[in-house]
């Protein structure tokens, strides 16, 4: 299955994604993790990418698409992917659609994890203590939430138009959220997807 996981930063996508890939047996592609690795690798692009990450701004579409399309060439991703934090702009979504179309595939479902803003801020500040993520500080959190509303939230309408979106209430316990996600996925699986 080809799944897009949408939701604001701090909604708990990472946690749910890890449980979901185990359940479905498909790989996880988190562009946030990929870009943090680009920074650590100290390549020619590292400083540029680090600047965007530290400000909570989106890395330019061209660079993100180059990295993602390269990764998707690997046979590991033939049967499907759980995209986490990608696409984040309409341009990225359109380019992903075009890429999938070229392979005779398409996005099967979009999970939109919904969490209230005060709770998002609380979760990100608590994560910053536990995981020491650079971009989990007050100023960057505000900027990441603004970027989500301005650039990523329009994707909900983009995918809703095709009837692909499942809205998930993320204000519940992790187990309740996961059970809900599982049910929605099962409902949308084709018989051959369910067999794997």
53's enclosing H/E stretch is helix 46-55
Cα(62)–Cα(83) distance, integer angstroms = 17
Please indicate whether residue 146 is annotated as part of the active site.
no
Instruction: Determine if 145 is a binding residue for ligand AMP (CB under 6 A).
Output: no
Please indicate whether residue 129 is annotated as part of the active site.
no
| Closest CA relative to residue 106, chosen from 114, 94, 123 | 94
- Binding piece for ligand AMP, criterion CB under 6 A, among 71-79, 87-95, 117-125, 155-163: 87-95
Three-state DSSP class for 81? strand
Cβ at position 59, least distance to ligand AMP in Å: 4
Quick one: tokens of 95?
């380019």
Among 4, 6, 38, 59, contact with ligand AMP (rule: CB under 6 A) = 59
146-168 burial string, b = 16+ CB within 10 Å, else e? ebbeebbeebbebbeeeebbbeb
Please indicate whether residue 40 is annotated as part of the active site.
no
Torsion region of 85: left, alpha or beta (phi above 0 gives left; psi -120 to 50 gives alpha): left
Question: Interaction with ligand AMP in 163-182: which residues (CB under 6 A)?
Answer: none
Please indicate whether residue 133 is annotated as part of the active site.
yes
Please indicate whether residue 188 is annotated as part of the active site.
no
Instruction: Determine if 52 is a binding residue for ligand AMP (CB under 6 A).
Output: yes
Instruction: Determine if 148 is a binding residue for ligand AMP (CB under 6 A).
Output: no
The residue (of 57 and 153) whose beta carbon lies closer to ligand AMP is 57
- 8-state DSSP, 183: H
Cβ at position 144, least distance to ligand AMP in Å: 5
At residue 152's C-alpha, the angle toward residues 104 and 134, to 5°, is: 115
Interface residue list for ligand AMP (CB under 6 A): 9, 31-32, 35, 52-53, 56-59, 64, 85-88, 92, 135, 144
- Catalogue the active-site residues: 13, 88, 127, 133, 144
């Amino acid at each position: 299955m080809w799944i897009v996981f949408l939701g604001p930063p701090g909604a708990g996508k990472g946690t749910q994604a890890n449980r979901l890939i185990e359940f479905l047996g498909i790989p996880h592609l988190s562009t946030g993790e990929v870009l943090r690795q680009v920074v650590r690798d100290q390549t020619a692009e590292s400083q540029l990418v680090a600047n965007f990450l530290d400000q909570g701004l989106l890395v330019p579409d061209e660079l993100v698409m180059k990295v993602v399309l390269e990764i998707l060439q690997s046979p590991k991703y033939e049967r499907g992917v759980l995209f986490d934090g990608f696409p984040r702009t309409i341009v990225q979504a359109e380019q992903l659609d075009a890429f999938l179309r070229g392979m005779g595939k398409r996005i099967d479902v979009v999970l939109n994890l919904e969490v209230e803003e005060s709770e998002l801020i609380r979760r990100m500040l608590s994560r910053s203590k536990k995981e020491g993520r650079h971009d989990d500080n007050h100023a960057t959190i505000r900027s990441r939430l603004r970027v989500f509303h301005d650039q990523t939230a329009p994707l909900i309408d983009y995918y809703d138009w095709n009837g692909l979106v499942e809205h998930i209430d993320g204000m519940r316990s992790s187990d309740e959220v996961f059970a809900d996600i599982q049910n929605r996925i099962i409902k949308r699986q084709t018989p051959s997807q369910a067999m794997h």
